[in-house]
Amino acid sequence: MSDVRPANLLFILSDEHNKRVLGCGGHPMVRTPHLDALAARGTRFANAYTNCPICVPARASFATGRHVHQVRCWDNAIAYDGQAPTWGHRLMEQGHHVASIGKLHYKASKPEVNGFDEEILPLHIVNGVGDLLGLIRDELPRRPGSLKLGPEAGPGESEYTRYDRSIADETVRWLRTEAPRHRARPWALYVGFVSPHFPLIAPPQFFDLYPEDDVPWPDLYDESERPRHPFLDAMRRCLCFDEPFDEAMVRRAIAAYFGLVSFLDDNIGRILKALADGGLADSTRVVYSSDHGDNLGTRGLWGKSTMYEESAGIPMIMAGPDVPSGRLCGTPVTLADGFPTFVHALGAATDPRDGDLPGSSLIDIARGMAPRRTILSEYHAAGAIAASYMIRHGNYKYIHYVGMPPMLFDLEADPHERGDLGRNPAFKPVIAECEARLREVVDPESADQLARADQRACIEKHGGKEAILKKGTFRYSPPPGAKATYF
C-alpha cells in the first residue's frame, strides 16, 4: 500500500441502493445533493460491485475482506459469527477505536466477536436464526410476503424510516461527543442505514419530490420484453414481487424508492454536517456504498438476487485526505476492498495473516494504483435454483450458472444489458476466456456443493424442510425493539 496520511474513516453503508438512482451517477430526476457533493470532492467508482447481491453474505464479505465461498456465509440464515477476522479486529489489535451504528446483519450483537469496541442500535439476523426459507433451493418455495411490495408502496412512515432517523441521530451524537475522546489514534466509524430497502414507504416530504406520472417506466418491463433464462424464470416464481402490480402501482413503487433514496441522502447530509461542524472533515475520509442494489422493476424483477447491474452493481464514493477530487474511476471494485481500505486509511500495519485477501485499498485504486485481478460476485441464496457467479473482464460481464447456460454482456456497447451474448456462437472464445478467469478465483461446482451441504445441515438443525415450510418466513429483518411478521 502507498504512503498516505493516517486519518479517521467514516464508512456509510446503505441497503439495496441501485447505483443508477443517484444524481452524480447520471440520473436525470433523483435528488441526492449530499452524495453528489461528496463525489465532487472525491472519487466515484463507476464499476463497484457487491460480493453477493443479498444482505447477509455481502456484509460478511465486507467485514472479512473475503469471498462468500471462503467465509461460507451463503444466505440470510448463515451469518457472520467470527468465521474470520474482520478489519475491525485488525484495527482494535493496534489500539484504534472501532464503533458501529445501525444495521450490521451478523448473527448476534457480540461486539468483540464482530470486531467492534461498541455496537449502537445494531440490527442482526432475526433471533440469531435469520431466513431459514432461503436455505431451501432444491425446489424453490414460493414466498408470499413478496406480494406486499406493490400494494403497500407510497408515502408514509415505516419502522425502517424511523430507525434510519435514529441511526442518523446517534451518529451525529457520536461525532459530537465520542469522536473527540479518541484523538490519540485515528478512529473507524461504520454507519449502517436500511434505506432504500423495502417496504417502499417514503416520508411524504421526499415521496412528493417525485410525481408518479413523471417517474420513468422500468426498462424491459412489459411481459413480451422480459429476458427468459431458467435461473430468472425460477426466481420470478419464487420471489413473486411483481404479480399484483398494475401501472399505477409500478409508478408508485418507483416514486417511493426514489423518495427513500432522497431520504437517505438527507440523513447522510446531517452526518456530513456534524463532521464538518466538529472540525473533523479535514482529518476524516468518508466512504459511501451499499450492500447491493435493487432491480427496481427492470426486466420485471424487483428486489436483489441477480447479477444485473441494477442488483449486483453498487454505488461507491470516497472523499478525504489523499483521495483525488472530482475523479471517476473505472476500475472494478467490490465491498471486499473495504478491509484493506480501513487498514490503509488509519495508518495501521498490514497483518501478514491477511496476505491472501483478494481486495485492495480503495485509496490506492482511486490514485491509479490498481492491481490486475478478477473481482467476483456470487449468489447461493433465496430464489437461486442454481449457484451464480459474476466477473468483469474488460468491457465484458460474464455470469456463470452451475448447470445452466451462461450470460455475457458487453457493458461498453450495451450498458443496460439488453442483449445477452451468452448463447451467441461468435462469442465462444470470450466466454471460454471469462470462464477460465472465473475458475482462477473459485471452482463453481465445488463451491456450489459446499453451499448446498452447509444449507442442508442448517435445515436439519432447525427441524427439517417441512418444519421450515410450515413456519414460513418474514419479509425483512425488523429494527431493534420490533418483531418479525411471518408469512
* The predicted structure's pLDDT at residue 2: 78
User: Which whole-number Å values give the CA distances from 172 to 2, 42, 101, 185, 207, in the listed order?
Assistant: 31, 22, 11, 20, 24
Question: For 441-470, how does the pLDDT look when each residue is reduced to its tens digit (9 = 90+)?
Answer: 999 999 999 999 999 999 999 999 999 999
Q: Is the pLDDT of residue 202 over 90?
A: yes
Contact 335, 43 (CB under 8 A): no
Torsion of CA 333, 288, 166, 15, to 10 degrees: -40
Which residue, 259, 282, 313, is CA-closest to 29? Answer: 259
Query: What is the pLDDT averaged over residues 270-280?
Result: 98
* The predicted structure's pLDDT at residue 3: 87
The model scores a pTM over 0.95: yes
Length of the chain equals: 487
Q: Is the pLDDT of residue 485 over 90?
A: no
* The predicted structure's pLDDT at residue 210: 98
DSSP 246-270: -HHHHHHHHHHHHHHHHHHHHHHHH
* Cα–Cα distance for residue pair 98/435, rounded to 1 Å: 39
* The predicted structure's pLDDT at residue 244: 80
* Cα–Cα distance for residue pair 142/119, rounded to 1 Å: 35
* The predicted structure's pLDDT at residue 275: 98
Q: What percent of the chain has pLDDT over 90?
A: 95
Contact 286, 175 (CB under 8 A): no
Question: For 399-446, how does the pLDDT look when each residue is reduced to its tens digit (9 = 90+)?
Answer: 999 999 999 999 999 999 999 999 999 999 999 999 999 999 999 999
Question: Which domains does the chain show, CATH number per domain?
Answer: 8-471 (3.40.720.10)
Cell of 323: 483521495
Cell of 165: 432517523
Q: Compute the C-alpha angle 191/193/194, nearest 5°.
A: 155
Cell of 1: 500500500
Q: Is the pLDDT of residue 26 over 90?
A: yes
